[in-house]
Amino acid sequence: MSAHEPKHRLAAIVVADVVGYTRMMEADEAGTLSLLRAARADVVDPVTARHRGAIVKGTGDGWLAQFRSVTDAVRSSVEIQAAMARRNALAAEGRRFEFRIGINLGEVVVESDDIYGTGVNVAARLESLADPGGIVISSAVRDQLRGVAGLEFEDMGPRAVKNLANPVHCFNVRPTAPPAAHGDPGAAAQPAARSERASIAVLPFSNLSGDADQDYFADGVVDDIITALSRFKWLRVIARNSTFAYKGRAVDVRQIARDLGVRYVLEGSVRKSGRRVRITGQLIDATTGDHVWADNFNGAFEDIFDLQDSITESVVGTMEPQLRKAEIERARRKRPENLDAYDLFLRALPHVYAMRPDDNRIALDLLEAASRLDPTYAPPLAFRAWCLEQRVVRRWPAARDDDAATCLRLARAALAADMDDANAIAIAAFVALMVGRDFDAAFPALRRAVALNPNNAFVAMNAGWAHCFAGDLGEALAHLERARALSPNDPTAFYVLTGLGMAHLLAGRCEEGARLATDAAALYDEWDATYYVLAAAQGHLGRLDEARASIARLVALIPGASIARYREMVPIRDPERLAFLEKGLRVAGLPERTDPEQARA
């Protein structure tokens, strides 16, 4: 037989598609495609691989897969349908969809990267007979499954199907026991054993006002908090319908967490007295019973809806960094052999934020390991790009053969991997700006990130810095002030303070710029960008002794720092802004060039 001739072999074939796909695409094309991509990445692909199957191809609204074992084909399909049922139970209206699945055992023709033939055709016809969320198999598959525990089969009898001369004897598959969850995002496993991303349930807040009419206000606050938290793609948030089932019931928080399959529970209360309202909130780690965070928020009841918005912003902005910090600590405590992509990403974050060459390499190793486990997970791609951007911009020793090209490739991959992840979009856009000087791509992406999650301080911070470099200074200040308001106690607040200092400096308010940069250095004294801002502001103010001390610290952090090097480092679009910065640094004592730069010139 010629090497190019098609091959024939026996295989278990799975064909699946989305119920009502055409209608869903007409109603919301982008949303439907995003949901399908997420289901493939979170459920279908990993479950298929775990059962030793292979996705042959996507079919637009579904997929075609083959397995060497009928048992593996059926087990994987049962697990996929169970996982989708759990996801749908927790998803908001309009974010649910179901698969039909057909399975056949038959001969297929293998040609290049595709399979076809009667065996595939039969599986496709069986899929069309399945109920939404159901599985239909042929008698050939059923014959191989006798004695398999956990499954029952409903005999559908012979069915005439399109384009086949003979009827096909079909069976509905009915699981009699739930399949293992294997980290499925919707699975109700014990919280302590879960390994997927962080998960939270926001319980109905207690109304302590003595006025039942205030229930609607407390419920409205909880609704807004659930919506705001749902915008953080790293956090799985239980839908309102599930959590409000506990309203008015005295149930132990740990039991609720077990029921809903979450790690964290947020509970709180509302108390109205006269024209004042106080809302308290406490975040509980349900795996230990420890309080991660607690706070209270006060406001005037003059405009109830504005108050609701401001309280939501305060709760989410203050709580989110604490929640992520708790997740990082949890990942640190896990044994190395139990780490998944999410845990590796969390472990990398402190090293990313450290802004030091050695930490940067540790972060890169952890992020690369995360991407090997899950190549489609966007945050490790984006933060790897950011790590390489740090190396390129600061001229640290190269991590790879071509850090700049790899950095831009990863940023583009992060954008393509999950267009709904505001963090990934924001940092990828920032990298495109810093390394690629791609202003036209960066600003629309940042606007999209802000629109996706207006309560995300990290996104607002990146948007603010981008406007400092190449946008509107008024917008830069607005974004950075919002980042500070959203997350006043964030451990990475020095980024925001330095950005605010830069924005004020470029606007000619050097005194304010110096003050903010000084505050940033007091929080963290190892980020070179802070000293560029501080030294330039002090230079313009004529504080030469202070300016020289700032330059000394800068050179200690970045040996060989110079005005020429800074000009290459920052993507400042406006020549007047750049000239103003350079003048301040020149007065402060930063050299025009270092010796190697003089030699190259």
At 437 the pLDDT is: 94
Same structural domain, 107 and 226: no
Residue 593 lies in a domain: yes
* E runs forming strands in 255-312: 264-273, 276-285, 290-300
Same structural domain, 54 and 133: yes
Angle (CA) 480-484-485 rounded to 5° is 115
Domain that holds residue 28: 7-175
Residue 548 lies in a domain: yes
In angstroms, the CA 136 to CA 150 distance is 16
Total count of domains within the chain:
4
Last residue of a domain, one of 439, 463, 485: 439
Return the structure tokens found at 306: 């504005």
End-to-end CA distance of the chain: 65
In angstroms, the CA 40 to CA 375 distance is 13
Same structural domain, 458 and 584: yes
DSSP conformation letters of 197-233? SEEEEEPPPEE-SS-GGGHHHHHHHHHHHHHHHHT-T
Residue 449 lies in a domain: no
At 92 the pLDDT is: 58
What residues have CB less than 8 Å from 242, skipping those under 6 apart?
A: 89, 90, 201, 260
- The answer to whether the CB of 188 falls within 8 A of the CB of 180 is no
CA 324 from centre of chain? 12
CA 532 to each of CA 317, 408, 544: distance values in angstroms, whole numbers, following the listed order = 29, 25, 14
- The answer to whether the CB of 546 falls within 8 A of the CB of 515 is no
CB atoms within 10 A of CB 397: 9
At 514 the pLDDT is: 97
At 253 the pLDDT is: 84
At 171 the pLDDT is: 92
Same structural domain, 32 and 143: yes
- The answer to whether the CB of 401 falls within 8 A of the CB of 372 is no
Q: What is the residue type of 294?
A: A
At 473 the pLDDT is: 96
Same structural domain, 381 and 497: no
269: β partners:
206, 280
- The answer to whether the CB of 238 falls within 8 A of the CB of 260 is yes
Same structural domain, 315 and 345: no
Maximum Cα interatomic distance, the chain, rounded to a whole number of Å: 93
CATH number at residue 305: 3.40.50.10610
CATH number at residue 531: 1.25.40.10
- The answer to whether the CB of 452 falls within 8 A of the CB of 483 is no
In angstroms, the CA 520 to CA 522 distance is 5
Residue 349 lies in a domain: yes
CA 415 to each of CA 334, 345, 486: distance values in angstroms, whole numbers, following the listed order = 30, 17, 25
Roughly what angle, to the nearest 10 degrees, separates helices 357-373 and 378-394? 150
3-state SS, one letter per residue, for 319-386: HHHHHHHHHHHHHHHCCHHHCCHHHHHHHHHHHHHHCCHHHHHHHHHHHHHHHHHCCCCHHHHHHHHH
In angstroms, the CA 32 to CA 355 distance is 39
Pairing of strands 198-202, 235-237: parallel
Same structural domain, 303 and 163: no
* Segment-wise mean pLDDT, segments of 10 residues, the chain, 601 residues: 63 91 82 80 82 83 87 90 78 75 89 81 90 92 76 86 80 74 40 56 87 76 86 84 80 82 89 83 87 85 73 83 86 78 90 91 94 86 95 90 92 75 92 93 92 90 96 95 82 90 97 97 93 98 97 94 94 96 98 68 45
Residue 180 lies in a domain: no
182 Rama class: left (phi>0) / alpha (psi -120 to 50) / beta:
left
Same structural domain, 145 and 42: yes
286 Rama class: left (phi>0) / alpha (psi -120 to 50) / beta:
alpha
Residue 186 lies in a domain: no
pTM above threshold 0.85:
no
Same structural domain, 25 and 146: yes
Last residue of a domain, one of 175, 204, 219: 175
CATH number at residue 139: 3.30.70.1230
Same structural domain, 67 and 113: yes
Residue 446 lies in a domain: no
Same structural domain, 62 and 150: yes
CATH number at residue 354: 1.25.40
Return the structure tokens found at 231: 């915008």
Return the structure tokens found at 133: 């969320």
Residue 572 lies in a domain: yes
CA 439 to each of CA 73, 406, 430, 573: distance values in angstroms, whole numbers, following the listed order = 48, 19, 10, 9
At 181 the pLDDT is: 47
Phi, psi dihedral angles at 237 (to 5 degrees): -115, 125
Same structural domain, 385 and 515: no
